Amino acid sequence: MFKIHFLGVRGSTPCCNQNVVQYGGHTSCVFFEFDQKIFIIDAGSGIISANAKFNPEIHKTTHLFLSHVHLDHVMGLPFYFPFWNKEHKINIYSGTTKEYNGIQNTLEHLFSPPVFPIPMKAFPAKKTYIDFDAKEQFQFASLTVKTINLNHPNGAIGYRFESDNHSFCYISDHEHDDSYDIDSLIEFIKDTDLLIYDSTYDDLTLHKYKGWGHSTWQEAVRLGEKAKVKHIGIFHHDPSNTDIQLDKLQESVLQEHSNVTFLKQDSCFCIIDQEFK
């Protein structure tokens, strides 16, 4: 059953200073194991922490699901060691790159000289590139992966992972506005155990960032209530948000909403116990 590890919880850019020690500075990456396979959502700089969880004796396959290919969600990709293991299979799933000639072309273009010294084509792992359209589903034994379009510049995909009557959803990066069919998102996340949600901004300041493609913790709470979500994980923190600010927010939000957690890097959520560790 799912044990979901948060390896990077920031958005936009990694950050590293004395004010962000508790919540961490790595960009988006979420990790879990299922049926001896590794599942990773987004390859932000946090993916380097997945290396310590990789055991080549056990893990023969990684399924990497990308929400989209903005830099903060792919920058760590070449630093995931299994890419350098010729026995390892890595399937990369993308729902936003068909119109850019596909995910293989996009990543091979990005990770090539002079930006990266070794062309991605030469990474030894057995790579498979899968371009899909939102609403397509994937099945891995008893695990179902569902997909939905989000509202973000150049597009983004939300995911729902389900198995044995448990589920969690990953909704990042996403801006809530009137142009988006909110009812379909509510239906998509309905009754999930954990909603991981892009909360880069808050309701008071969101107007300054209209069109940037991000949402707020207040919207996470509203959505969570409408969709009867059990737990809400506040994610994709703005790199300028300090530990003190995030702690204060956590404290005040908890007074009214006991199921809301501002996610910290290197924490995890265990679906069986229904708690963060």
Judged by the rule CB under 5 A, the positions of this chain that interact with Zn ion are: 11, 70, 72, 173
Least distance between Zn ion and beta carbon 152 (Å): 6
Cα–Cα distance, 49 to 40 (Å, whole number): 11
69 vs 260, beta carbon nearer Zn ion: 69
Please return the burial class of 219, using the count of CB atoms within 10 Å of its CB with bins 0-12, 13-18 and 19+: buried
CB of 67 to Zn ion, least distance (A): 8
**How many Cβ atoms sit within 10 Å of the Cβ of residue 60?**
15
> How many angstroms separate the CA atoms of 184 and 100, rounded?
26
CA 214, CA 191: separation in Å to the nearest integer?
Answer: 23
| CB of 78 or CB of 239, closer to Zn ion | 239
**Tokens 């990773």 identify what position?**
40
Report the nearest approach of Zn ion to the CB of residue 117 (Å): 25
**Residue 68 CB, nearest distance to Zn ion (Å)?**
6
What is the rounded CA–CA span in Å between residue 69 and residue 96? 8
Which C-beta is closer to Zn ion: that of 88 or that of 152?
152
Do 12 and 241 form a contact (C-beta atoms < 8 A)?
no
Nearer to Zn ion, 42 or 193 (CB): 42
Q: How far is CA 62 from CA 34, 51, 102, 117, 259, in A?
A: 10, 12, 20, 24, 31
Least distance (Å) between residue 110 CB and Zn ion: 14
Closest CB to Zn ion among residues 73, 127: 73
- Enumerate residues 6+ apart whose C-beta is below 8 A from 256: none
Give me the residue whose beta carbon is nearest to Zn ion. Answer: 70
| C-beta closer to Zn ion: residue 26 or 37 | 26
- Shortest reach from residue 215's CB to Zn ion, in Å: 11
